[in-house]
Amino acid sequence: MKKHYLIGLALLAFTTFILSCSKSDEEEYVQVSPVSVNLATVPYAKLSDYHFFDGDMKQQNPSLDVLPYEPASSLFTDYAHKKRFVWLPKNTKATYDGDGKVLNLPVGAALVKTFYYDNVQNVTPVGATRIIETRIMIRKSSGWIFADYVWNTEQTEAYLDLNGSNTSVDFKDENNILHNVPSYRIPNEVQCIICHKSKQMVGNVEVDTYIPIGIKPQNLNFNFNYGTESKNQLTKWIEKGYLESGFSFPSAENTTINYNDTSKPIELRARSYVDVNCAHCHQVDRHCDYRPMRFAFSETGNMSNGLTNMGVCVDTQDMQDFPPALSKIVKPGNVNRSMMYYRLNTTNENYRMPLHGRTVIHEEGVALIEQWINSLQPCP
């Protein structure tokens, strides 16, 4: 009897030990993100080296701690769709610097943007999705760097290429209408710099620094579908530990909208359109700051100078060899006398705007600007 009692006690002690260890292991186990951004060796030769995506890379399923995001309005890039992601090193956060200013991301942060087309007709199999490129910005201690990864035909890998190139895309839209982009432009590094540079004075010397464009509170202040939930993106970033709290979210007046939303006022749609498509160059200390337009959303809403900043009734400074009728940047009620409309509505590289990012005309965007111009009151 005593022998059986001792065996029972031993079994009980052993079982308790096993259960205790199992519980302890479960409590201590913490998933670790597979993402690798070694600042000493980036940019890597291949996109897969970062481990931003889980499983089949072309499916663009973000890995642990890679957070998808989306601005209210999207920069037009020859009708390409985009998927955007942000990753921050553990125990680091972005900081707020103003509704219309880019969030200040920490050293080691990475912004990832993939450009793709659905229902592509000039690939095998016909109607498949084709990913063209994935652009990455990485913040080193010395500043932001660029890396562009061009996808192979098999859609299994993307390779670092900052030399720039062109590719042809035939695709059908959601209405089954065929479109052709004969020369989609994958940018070179110089073209990346033009759109992302910001001039700063260091001592008495002007230097160019590079900054992101879209990650501003004004652009993220709306609900995004994360798959398991729909939540305000600023709230999500804070809950994720990617953004410091303690600031007031942008008001409705200081929040951009989706310029495709026809239920919104035409003025707000036009302001949101030029903010995302033009303001990165047309503001102080940017590439086109020598021009009078100031297209940032925060600079176009003021009744006293908002329209002036949009170019309304403003004389064209440099006619070059443009038609003489285009003497105003925006001539209310007359697109044929508006320089802005002319430059948005051409594919001629010498005249088109924006300078980079498009090779075909954004028909819907041009129609929006035409509607806005026709809504304006005559010049005094």
pTM, two decimals, is 0.88
Confidence of residue 2 (pLDDT cuts 50, 70, 90): very low
Residue from 108, 110, 151 nearest 131 by CA = 151
What is the pLDDT at residue 71? 96
What is the pLDDT at residue 310? 87
What is the pLDDT at residue 287? 61
Residue 357's CB: how many other CB atoms inside 10 A? 18
Tell me: the pLDDT tens digits for 122-153? 999 999 999 999 999 999 999 999 999 999 99
* Residues found in the chain: 380
Selected residue with higher pLDDT from 377 and 15: 377
Confidence of residue 20 (pLDDT cuts 50, 70, 90): low
CA-CA distance, 237 to 219, in Å (whole number)?
Answer: 13
Instruction: Identify the sign of the CA torsion 141, 204, 295, 287.
Output: negative
What is the pLDDT at residue 191? 76
Tell me: the pLDDT tens digits for 298-342? 889 876 788 888 899 998 887 778 888 999 999 999 999 999 999
Confidence of residue 9 (pLDDT cuts 50, 70, 90): very low
Q: With a cut of 90, say whether residue 282 has pLDDT above it.
A: no
